[in-house]
Amino acid sequence: MKVNGTPYRSLWWLADREVLQIIDQRWLPHDFRVQDVATLQDFADAIVQMRVRGAPLIGATAAYGMALAMRLDPSDSHMDHAWEFLHDTRPTAINLRWALNRCRDMLRPLHLNHRANAALALAHAIADEDVEINRNIGLHGLEIIKDIASRKPAGEPVNLLTHCNAGWLATVDWGTATSPMYHAHDAGISLHIWVDETRPRNQGALTSWELGSHGIPHTYISDNAGGHLMQHGQVDMVIVGTDRTTAQGDVCNKIGTYLKALAARANNVPFYVALPSPTIDWTVTDGISEIPIEERDPAEVSHIQGLTDAGDIGTVQVTPTGTPSGNPAFDVTPNHLVTGLITERGVSLASGDGLRAMFPDLAAA
Ligand code: MRU
């Protein structure tokens, strides 16, 4: 998508310097900084420190990490080391393991001399596929938004609510939950997006930055406002992303998603999840007991980062010194609260039957 009129992806390979470049998302929305990722340690740091974040982008970044590892040393032992090193960065988003496994499975049978180029070609393919998957999620989601728009009084926008940032910054391009928004806006449908702030890291500010850059009307709200807005008929549809969806259609996403799903159900608001197929974990059936939930630094809760009046990016403490804080980063929304899964192949029921019917090839693999 565009930043100040210039098209960007969230990561790109510089062939002449043989280096990956990323947007360091820690400084957004206040500062747009591009950064080289040049060593295996850089790749791990970029994921752990959330310079890159969002399930699909974590996966694509890890694929480039494997490509770099193969350039340095294409041996089996180094490949396995790179797999472990990158895999241990963040536990919840399944796209990380999906991308690393895909790289290792493809590389293992190859002669060592061919591994570097093949790994880079695969990383490019994973990035390009992600863009195409998200574009198609957008087209399927557009049909749902069109249907809602057709039932709204003339002149009234369709009000969507989203949580976290499942935008182009969280993917290679388009985003998952935001792709239907971009497609609907570009198709001339009048939209307004309620953007949850998404404490503790405020990924909603990234979503606001994206939507603002694309000219989509939106309002940034506190995480606690959604239920109230739904009670007052001000939300037509919720769309969120996912970090890992089980074979039964349970959805693990950013902390707070579950509460939005409960509020949506209580108020008859459709609750959709934008789901790229690499985010399905076919090995997990019970999301609540089986998905590892990342527990992050409590300082993300006790402190908050923002722009000071002096124009610097700074951090302040919001709790009394020494207050214990807890920071589970994701939660699981059971499938019965999900109206539908918007995938690249179409809209699926959030159930084992629904996912198997939509992806019989992947379910069988
Ligand atoms: O901790 P983050 O910022 O990596 O979490 C991101 C999310 O939870 C997104 O909603 C999810 O990855 C879907 S992104 C298309």
Dump strand ranges (E) for 92-186: 158-162
What does the pLDDT average to over 73-100? 98
Q: Which is the closest atom of ligand 1 to the Cα of 274? A: 15
| pLDDT of res. 154 | 93
Q: Which is the closest atom of ligand 1 to the Cα of 93? A: 12
Q: Which residues contact 281 (CB under 8 A, 6 or more apart)?
A: 94, 244, 245, 246, 247, 291
What does the pLDDT average to over 48-68? 98
47: domain CATH number is 1.20.120.420
Q: How confident is the model at residue 10 (pLDDT cuts 50, 70, 90)?
A: very high
Distance 73 CA to ligand 1 centre (A): 32
- 107 neighbors 115 (Cβ within 8 angstroms): yes
| pLDDT of res. 120 | 98
Residues 199 and 117 in one domain: no
Residue 243 annotated to the active site: yes
User: For residues 353 and 233, what is the distance between their CA atoms, to the nearest angstrom?
Assistant: 32
Residues 244 and 327 in one domain: yes
Distance 118 CA to ligand 1 centre (A): 29
Ligand 1 pocket test, candidate residues 53, 131, 210, 252, most atoms within 8 A of CB: 53
What does the pLDDT average to over 220-239? 98
Ligand 1 pocket test, candidate residues 163, 164, 171, 341, most atoms within 8 A of CB: 164
pLDDT per position as a tens digit, 288-343: 999 999 999 999 999 999 999 999 999 999 999 999 999 999 999 999 999 999 99
3-state secondary structure 273-295: EECCHHHEECCCCCHHHHCCCCE
Query: Considering its fold, how many domains does the chain have in total?
Result: 2
- 53 neighbors 92 (Cβ within 8 angstroms): no
Residues 114 and 153 in one domain: no
| pLDDT of res. 219 | 98
What does the pLDDT average to over 138-156? 97
| pLDDT of res. 26 | 98
Ligand 1: residue whose CA is nearest its atom 2: 54
Residues 53 and 113 in one domain: yes
| pLDDT of res. 33 | 97
Q: How confident is the model at residue 42 (pLDDT cuts 50, 70, 90)?
A: very high
Residues 159 and 300 in one domain: yes
Catalytic residue, candidates 243, 250, 281, 331: 243
Of the candidates 112, 129, 146, which is a domain's last residue?
129
pLDDT per position as a tens digit, 162-200: 999 999 999 999 999 999 999 999 999 999 999 999 999
Residue 77 has a CB neighbour count (10 Å cut-off) of 8
User: For residues 79 and 70, what is the distance between their CA atoms, to the nearest angstrom?
Assistant: 7
What does the pLDDT average to over 151-172? 97
Q: How confident is the model at residue 84 (pLDDT cuts 50, 70, 90)?
A: very high
Q: Which residues contact 336 (CB under 8 A, 6 or more apart)?
A: 350
Residues 165 and 119 in one domain: no
What does the pLDDT average to over 251-280? 98
Quote the percentage of the chain above a pLDDT of 90. Answer: 99
Distance 108 CA to ligand 1 centre (A): 30
Residues 277 and 147 in one domain: yes
259 CB burial (10 A radius; 0-12, 13-18, 19+): middle
Ligand 1: list residues with CB < 6 Å.
Answer: 53-56, 93, 164, 166, 170-171, 175-176, 203, 241-243, 253-254, 329
| pLDDT of res. 323 | 98
167: domain CATH number is 3.40.50.10470
| pLDDT of res. 221 | 98
| pLDDT of res. 43 | 98
